[in-house]
Amino acid sequence: RKEVEQDPGPFNVPEGATVAFNCTYSNSASQSFFWYRQDCRKEPKLLMSVYSSGNEDGRFTAQLNRASQYISLLIRDSKLSDSATYLCVVTPRGAQKLVFGQGTRLTINP
């Protein structure tokens, strides 16, 4: 079983739609959680950290459910510029490394 699993998609949605991504992780001792976005042939860039209390950054909302080992990302009022691959990322407890999910490809259509 992969440490971090995501639906690979691709997701194709119209501009203005709301999109939800899900992610599960296998190591219950994981301590830090993030969503990254990666554009084609570019390095990944941090979108937001994910906290147990849930957190919001503009049109983006992230949630963490430690009991279910589940992470989500919601994008509201999607823009064409949101088209990218979204990566769920976890840090194991006591380790500095980042463990990446396979990513979910999102395309926003005009």
Asked if residues 38 and 88 have their Cβ atoms less than 8 Å apart, the reply is: no
CB of 31 to another protein, least distance (A): 12
Please report whether residue 99 would count as binding another protein according to CB under 8 A.
yes
Please report whether residue 87 would count as binding another protein according to CB under 8 A.
yes
Please report whether residue 93 would count as binding another protein according to CB under 8 A.
no
Asked if residues 35 and 47 have their Cβ atoms less than 8 Å apart, the reply is: yes
CB of 85 to another protein, least distance (A): 9
Distance CA(74)–CA(62), nearest Å, equals: 6
Please report whether residue 103 would count as binding another protein according to CB under 8 A.
yes
Residue of 98, 99, 79 whose CA lies nearest to 19: 79
Residue of 69, 34, 39, 70 whose CA lies nearest to 55: 34
Nearer to another protein, 5 or 17 (CB): 5
Please report whether residue 102 would count as binding another protein according to CB under 8 A.
yes
Binding to another protein (CB under 8 A) within 28-57 occurs at 32, 34, 41-46, 49
Please report whether residue 101 would count as binding another protein according to CB under 8 A.
yes
Question: At which residue do the structure tokens 């194709």 appear?
Answer: 12
